[in-house]
Amino acid sequence: MKSEINGLPDWLSTPPGAYMLAWERAQFELAVSDVFGYHAVQLGLPELDALQANRMPHKWLAVSVLPAEPGALAPPEKPAGSAPVADTGSRRAALLADSAALPFPESSLDMVVLPHTLELCGDPHSALREVARVLVPEGRVVISGFNRASLWGLRQRRDHVYQRYGRDRLFLPDAGEYIGYWRLRDWLRLLDFEVESAHFGCYRPALGNQAWLDRFDWMDRAGKRWWPIFGAVYFLVAVKHVRGMRLLEPGWKTQKFPVAAPAIATRKSRASIDPPKP
């Protein structure tokens, strides 16, 4: 990943970052809770436990850069004398891996979540191709990212212009050029993904003060109804399809085919077949 990712944890502690993080946490919980399988991986953003609501037995958190705090990836400590419980979180098993070269075999994962991973990596095309490689047929990828066509995106582009005249502070983390929503859909279509669901969120203006953000909370309801595609963040779920493959359905109900009635065969006597002798 690029070095700009070091500024993302600091930005998430700001009022707009906490506002966005709370919205995305709710979206990930709804999206992954009903996805079944055995193996799931979250790539990047350890500040958000995107797999917490999922019930798969094997879950990993893969990061490309170790966090500054040593215990950021460790599970919370259990109180003394408590009974041992099964670990259902995704932070216990942490991997140090490149998003464009995942240490998993082909068609081995049931779900991959990418919270702002594509826009923070150096080569988003390779990262998305790698996700398509490790996913099983009918596996799911869950992606969140900043929307360029939003108030936050406009503020970011304006700050980039002001940066040429000595202003060095940006509203959003400086992660290069953000990937547009429709552009991402085209990439997924080329990799045989079908977008299952997609929506936008965080419609409040690009303000850094918590009091002013609270004053514009009505824009979340209005934006969802009147300008739904202009939210600051997009969120989508896509399914990997493999051509020429059909998944076998469980044989709970066996299909009964009608049995034809047996035909009665009649045999003519030889006397009726042979002509009479002279």
Question: Which tens digit of pLDDT belongs to each residue from 63-94?
Answer: 877 655 555 554 434 434 433 333 434 444 57
| Paired sense of beta strands 135-146 and 109-115, if any | parallel
pLDDT mean over 267-272: 58
State yes or no: pLDDT of 34 exceeds 60: yes
Alpha-carbon separation of residue 138 from 61, 182, 230 (angstroms): 21, 22, 30
Contact between residue 202 and residue 152 where contact means Cβ atoms under 8 Å apart: yes
Residue 274 resides in a domain: no
Residue 277 resides in a domain: no
> Which is more confident, 162 or 233?
233
Q: What whole-number distance in Å separates Cα of residue 11 and Cα of residue 5?
A: 10
**pLDDT, position 253:** 56
Strands lying side by side in the sheet with 135-146: 94-96, 58-63, 39-43, 109-115, 135-146, 233-240, 193-201
Residue 112 resides in a domain: yes
Domain housing 230: 3-78+86-245
Q: What are the φ and ψ backbone dihedral angles of 210, each rounded to 5 degrees?
A: -65, -40
Nearest to 46 by CA among 92, 113, 98, 91: 91
Residue 28 resides in a domain: yes
Q: What are the φ and ψ backbone dihedral angles of 215, each rounded to 5 degrees?
A: -65, -25
pLDDT band at 8 (very low <50, low <70, confident <90, very high): confident
- pTM for the predicted model, two decimal places: 0.77
Q: What whole-number distance in Å separates Cα of residue 168 and Cα of residue 242?
A: 47
**pLDDT, position 169:** 75
State yes or no: pLDDT of 214 exceeds 80: yes
Percentage of the chain beyond pLDDT 90 is 49
Contact between residue 125 and residue 117 where contact means Cβ atoms under 8 Å apart: no
Q: What are the φ and ψ backbone dihedral angles of 223, each rounded to 5 degrees?
A: -65, -35
Residue 258 resides in a domain: no
Number of domains in the chain: 1
Residue 271 resides in a domain: no
* Residue 237 belongs to domain with CATH number: 3.40.50.150
**pLDDT, position 7:** 64
Residue 100 resides in a domain: yes
Alpha-carbon separation of residue 80 from 84, 92, 145, 164 (angstroms): 10, 19, 40, 56
pLDDT mean over 164-168: 67
Contact between residue 150 and residue 230 where contact means Cβ atoms under 8 Å apart: yes
Residue 73 resides in a domain: yes
Q: What six digits make up the tokens of 225?
A: 């109804």
